[in-house]
Amino acid sequence: MDLILFGMQGSGKGTVGKALAEKFNTEYFETGAVLRRLANQDSELGQKVKSIIEAGHLVSNEVVMEIVEDFMKNTEENKAIIFDGIPRSVEQAKTLNALLDKYDRDYKAVLLKIVEETALKRLTTRKICKDCKEVYPAYYKKEECEKCGGELFTRADDNPTAIKTRLKAFKKETIPAMEIYKDKLIEIDGEPSIDEVRKIAYKTLAPIMET
Ligand SMILES: [Zn+2]
């Protein structure tokens, strides 16, 4: 069963998503990471992505979907995929669904639900490693990265005004895309601590992921 993850910035979507991929032994599709990986490959698609990125252009919806299709084709049979950060718009949702149908993939959507106030609180206080880009919540008190020892800093665009702009884009573009999945949507409370949310997510999704 593939999962399409939705969640406002600050919902813990990336952290929980990666934990789910590990727990249920699935592939993980996160657009940015897949693009970076492809750009380092010699394949035709890889070189195309590389030239777009080097020219400083945004990767078009069409190319993103070409990448999703390539990813699906290269996924082992019987292995599920968790999608993080896609679809971001109604247009992407429609193309993604067409691909899921084409490759006969079964899927559910998952929403990590938080209120805007929580998103603001979490994002304005989080810290990021300057080397490996790992993200740490406010309660992480150490000055250096647990993974690589890098220095932690607060992102300049993690200020309330910039965050509100990002949340507005989420509401305008992504919420309508999520509506398309309303019959397949599983809601998970994203308000508790990340460890708690992870536990709730395991428990909620185990029945459909461990079959
Ligand atoms: Zn680090």
For residues 57 and 6, the model is more confident at: 6
pTM of the model: 0.86
CATH class of residue range 2-209: alpha beta
pLDDT-derived band at 149 (thresholds 50, 70, 90) equals very high
Q: How many alpha carbons fall within 13 Å on the CB side of residue 14?
A: 12
Measured distance CA(93)–CA(98) in Å, rounded: 9
* Predicted confidence (pLDDT) per residue in 173-184, tens digit: 999 999 999 999
* Predicted confidence (pLDDT) per residue in 79-119, tens digit: 999 999 999 899 999 999 999 999 999 999 999 999 999 99
Q: What is the DSSP string of 110-149?
A: EEEE--HHHHHHHHHH-EEETTT--EE-TT---SB-TTT-
Query: Ligand 1 centroid to 152 CA: how many Å?
Result: 8
- The angle that helices 44-54 and 31-39 make with each other, rounded to 10 degrees, is 110
Query: Ligand 1 centroid to 176 CA: how many Å?
Result: 35
Query: Ligand 1 centroid to 85 CA: how many Å?
Result: 22
Query: Ligand 1 centroid to 148 CA: how many Å?
Result: 4
